Amino acid sequence: MKAVVYTNTGEASGKEVELDSAFFGREVNTGLIHRLLILQNANARNPIAHTKTRSERNGSTRKLYKQKGTGQARVGDSRSPTRRGGGVAFGPLNNRNFELRMNKKERRCALLSILSSKAADNKVKIIEKFSVETTKTKDMIQIFANMNLSTAVLAVLPTDIAVFQAGRNVPTVKVIGANYLNPHDLLKFKDLVFTTESLEFIKSHFAN
């Protein structure tokens, strides 16, 4: 499995890099990928919708009138869900926990499955280290235009702050740290671009 290498201006250098089969040559496990995507979306949920139960409503807990002898239906206090201004039964609460769990080996296998799928479709590309002169938004746009990429994830070193700042306003590019490769971004964007340094970084990162 090989990936084309581009210069820091987005031009094809004529060279190719052999991708490590331990990371890019695995059998694709769609079931694990789906579980990891569901886990990421579930753990990102922040429930804010909240309805007050009868215990949270203001008002007296006194029984409105006696149980028998009035000719009316029996009734409790004014905070009953059946009365106007009362609590809500079975409404959404903001203390719900949507957290899911998945062990480390499964998460790693799922991510490597996505990387392998990208590599099999020739969607993995390598770009040389960005120079100081090219770390500007307009230069980043031109680089990706030269590479003929419609949408892409650019995985860089966590310390490449200048690249993060240059790419954050490019709508078709998502710049993330190579240590934060995740299924949502990898599946949303078509291509995956590594720098030569971040490609070496993920080998040590996933080896731990």
Is the Cβ–Cβ distance between 134 and 154 less than 8 Å? Answer: no
| φ/ψ of residue 84, rounded to 5 | -65, 130
Please measure the distance between the N-terminal and C-terminal CA atoms of the chain and give it in whole angstroms: 23
72, 173: one domain: no
Mean pLDDT of 179-197: 94
Owning domain of residue 11: 2-45+99-207
pTM over 0.85: no
202, 121: one domain: yes
Domain count for the chain, please give it. Answer: 2
196, 146: one domain: yes
Residues above pLDDT 90, as percent of the chain: 65
113, 200: one domain: yes
What does the pLDDT look like over 82-139, one tens digit per residue?
A: 999 999 999 999 999 999 999 999 999 999 999 999 999 999 999 988 876 667 888 8
Mean pLDDT of 138-148: 89
CATH number at residue 152: 3.40.1370.10
What does the pLDDT look like over 43-77, one tens digit per residue?
A: 999 999 999 999 999 989 999 999 999 999 999 99
Q: What is the DSSP string of 81-144?
A: TTSTT---TT---TT--------HHHHHHHHHHHHHHHHHTT-EEEEPPPPGGG-SHHHHHHHH
Question: What is the chain's Cα-based Rg?
Answer: 27
Classify 36 as helix, strand or coil.
helix
Confidence of residue 14 (pLDDT cuts 50, 70, 90): confident
Q: Which domain-ending residue is among 64, 80, 97? A: 97
86, 180: one domain: no
Mean pLDDT of 169-194: 93
Confidence of residue 13 (pLDDT cuts 50, 70, 90): confident
